[in-house]
Amino acid sequence: MSKAIPKVSSVTSKILGEAVTASFRKLDPRVQLRNPVMFAVYLGSIFTTVLLVNSWWMETGESSGFILGVTVWLWFTVLFANFAEAIAEGRGKAQADELRRSRSVAPAKKLCLPLNMNAAKRRSQEMLMKGELVIVPSSDLRSGDIVFVEAGDCIPGDGEVVEGIASVDESAITGESAPVVRESGGDRSAVTGGTKVISDWLIVRITTQPGESFLDHMIAMVEGAKRQRTPNEIALAILLAALTLLFLLVVVTLRPFSQFSVEVSGQGHVIGLTVLVALFVCLAPTTIGALLSAIGIAGMNRLSQTNVIAMSGRAVEAAGDVDVLLLDKTGTITLGNRQATRFIPAEGVSEQALAEAAHLASLADETPEGRSIAVLAKKRFGMRGRDLEQIKPHFVPFTARTRMSGVSLDGHAIYKGAAEAVESHVRNLGGFFPESVRIAVRQVAELGGTPLVVSRNEKVLGVIELKDIVKGGIKERFAELRQMGIKTVMITGDNPLTAAAIAAEAGVDDFLAEATPEAKLSLIRDYQKGGRLVAMTGDGTNDAPALAQADVAVAMNSGTQAAKEAGNMVDLDSNPTKLIEIVSVGKQLLMTRGALTTFSISNDVAKYFAILPAAFASTYPALKALDLMRLSSPSSAILSAVIFNALIIIALVPLALRGVKYRPVGAAQLLRSNLLIYGLGGLIVPFIGIKAIDLLLSAVGLAQNCT
C-alpha cells in the first residue's frame, strides 16, 4: 500500500544542497531575530568581524590570525544552526512538493439552483443544458457552495455529502487503494478534496474556504516552514534567552574586572574583546538553541510518517504528556467482527448435532459472524458447504423485529438468534426453554461474549458463543503504557457485565459501559478536573463534543466533518489504535528535546575548563590548575572550544532529526537514563573533543599564543 504522505526517510543530496543554500539565506537579521540565542551569536560574529578588519590597520593586542580563526568559526556556528533548521525543513518541503504535485485543480460543477434531487439523478450534461449547474474553477468555491460530482469526477473541495451515495477513491489522501462508500447522513458523509468518484453521484456542500482544505493542512504541516512553536518550546526558548542574557551580563563585566586586576596585581594582560566574545558564545546554550527548531520540525515530520495530520504542534506536544487514553472497544481493542468460538449443546443434544443445525441456519448468512459459524463447524467436524440447488432450502432473513434468522429444510425450521427471541419462538410452538441453556447463555454473557441460541422446530439445541476477539498484542501494548504511567480506559456500548469481561481480557485499567456522548464528555471533564491530560479517538458526529473537550483528539479520516473539525489531529488510515503511536511520537519529541537540553548544558562545563584558565591564568596563575586538559596555549584552548562548540551542532543534527529512541519506561527511570547518557556524556565528550582539536591545531602549527 502506498502512503498518503510521501515518506522522506533519508537526507538526499538535493535536500543537502538546498539546506546549504538556505543556511546563507537565513543570515537575514529578521530570520535570526526569531532565535534569541543564535541572534546573540550572530551579533558576536559581526562584532569579531569588525575587530578583524580593525586589526589589519592598528594594534589591538590580539593577533589577526587568532581573531580570524575565532570569527570564521563563529560564523560557522551560526551557519550550522541555520543548516540544522534548514535540513529539517527540507525533508518536510520534499514531502510537501510531492503533495502539491498530487493536487488536481479540477473544474467544479456548481449547482446554481436550489437542491433538486430529480435534477441530480440526470446526467450533468442535461443539467448544464438546462442551466441547473455551471462549470467553475475549484479555486473559486467558497464554504456553503453546492457541487455535483459523478463517476470520473474529482471532488473539488472538502465537504459534506448532502444527497446521494457513491464509491470514492481516496488513495491520493489515505494511500489505501480500495474505494470507500460515501453517502449522506451517518458517519461517512465527509469527503476530501482531490479524491475521485468511482461510481454513481453525490451532491456535496463545500465546508472550507480556499487555502484551508485538508490537503492544504497536510502541506503546511509537513513543510514545517509555517509551523507554530509549541507552548513548551516557547517556554524553553524564553529560558534559553534568559540564560543568554545572564551570560552576556557576566561577560560584559569581565573586561573592567580584568583591567582592575591587571593594574592591582601588576602582571598578566587585559582580556581581549575577541576572547570575551568566544567566552560568551561557549557559555551560552548555543547547542540546544541551534537545534531547538529542528527538533520541533522533525517531531512533526515523524508524526506525518504515521499518516496522521496534526492541526497544531500543541496537540503533538500534549500527546507526549497524556496520562489517560480513552479507547473505543470495537475496532480498537477488539477486531470488531464477532467470531464463533464454541458450540454449547443442550442436555441430550450432541455437539455435532448442534453444529450441523447452526451450519444450516448460517448458509445464507454473509455477515462475518455467520461465516465464522461455518468456519467453526468445518474446523470441529469437517462440515462442508451444501449444494443449495439440490436441497432447495427456504431462507428466513434476520430482521430487527424477529431478531432471528434461519432456514426451512425438509419440513424442519432451524433458527438461530437472541435467547429471548428463540425462547419466545419455541414456546409459541409448544416447546420449552431448558435451564441448562439459560445457564449457558448467562455464562457466555459474563465472559464478554454474545450468545446465539439454536432451535429445530420446537426444540432448543444449544448455544453458539460469539466473541469479540481482542486484538493480538494489544494487552502487551497496554502494559507498556502502564509502565509509562498512562491509564487506559475502554469505551463501549456493551452492558457492564460484558464490558468488564473484555476489559479484563484486554488488560485495560478501567472501562465505561453503556457509553453515551454525554457520558464520554462527563468522563473526560472528570479526569481533567483531577489534573489529567486526556486523549481519545472518534469518527462520528456524536463524538464531536468529547473530541472538542479532549486534550488530544484524533478524528478518523473516514468520519464526519463535525468529528474532523472537533479534533486536533486526523488519522488518514482511520485506525483507532493509531492513538498509541501518536502518544509514542509525542513522548519521543519531549524526550529528544530534554536529552539535547541536558547535553547542551552539560557540555558547557568542559568549555569553562578550557577558556577560563586561558583567559585569566596570566593574571591569576592559580587558575592554571583548572587546565585539566593541558591545552597547548591560551589561543589554542579558546579556538578549540569555539570549534568544538560549532562542530557539536552538526554532530547532533542526525539525532535531532531521528529523535531519541523511545522506550516505554517510567519517568524516574527515564530521568536516570537521561542524566547518565546525556548528562554524563555531555560532560565527557567535550573534554575529549576539545583536546583532540587542540592536538590537531598544534600539529598544523596553529596553536600560537594570542598575545
Residue with the three cell numbers 487514553: 325
Which residue, among 529, 556, 534, has the nearest Cα to 544 in the 3D structure?
556
Q: Tell me if residue 145 is catalytic.
A: no
CB neighbour list of residue 404: distance below 8 Å, 6 or more residues apart: 396, 398, 415, 416, 417, 418, 421, 422, 425
Cα gap 39→53, rounded to integer Å: 21
Q: Nearest-5° angle of CA 221, CA 226, CA 229?
A: 90
Residue among 570, 540, 531, 574 at smallest CA distance from 553: 570
- CA 169 from chain centre, in angstroms, equals 24
d(CA 693, CA 651): 15
Chain position carrying cell 461465516: 371
Going 470 to 473 to 479 to 483, the CA torsion angle's sign is negative
Radius of gyration over every alpha carbon of the chain, rounded to an integer in angstroms: 35
Interhelix angle 286-305/231-265, rounded to 10 degrees, is: 160
Handedness of CA 9, 12, 15, 21 (dihedral sign): positive
The Cα 197–Cα 183 span in angstroms is: 12
Contact 514, 548 (CB under 8 A): no
Number of Cβ within 10 Å of residue 229's Cβ equals: 17
What are the backbone dihedrals phi and psi of residue 395, each rounded to the nearest 5 degrees, phi first? -85, 140
Task: Give the chain's end-to-end CA distance (angstroms, integer).
Answer: 66
Q: Compute the Cα dihedral for 115, 119, 123, 124 and give only its sign.
A: negative
Q: Read off φ and ψ for residue 537, nearest 5 degrees.
A: -120, 160
Hey, what's the cell of 352?
455435532
DSSP β-bridge partners for residue 408: 394, 413
Looking up cell 487503494, which residue turns up? 177
Provide the 3-class DSSP secondary structure of residue 189. coil
HSE-CB for 543 with a 13 A CA cutoff? 27
Distance of CA 484 to the CA centre of its chain: 17
The C-alpha atoms of residue 341 and residue 469 are separated, in whole angstroms, by: 9
Of 328, 551, 571, 694, the active-site residue reads 328
In 3D space, the residue among 329, 330, 325, 362 whose CA is nearest the CA of residue 343 turns out to be 362
Q: How far apart are the C-alpha atoms of 430 and 395, rounded to whole Å? A: 23
Q: What are phi and psi of 92, to 5 degrees?
A: -65, -40
d(CA 402, CA 425): 9
Distance CA 196, CA 159 (A): 13
Torsions phi, psi for 456 (to 5 deg): -125, 115
DSSP state of 558: T
Which positions are catalytic?
328
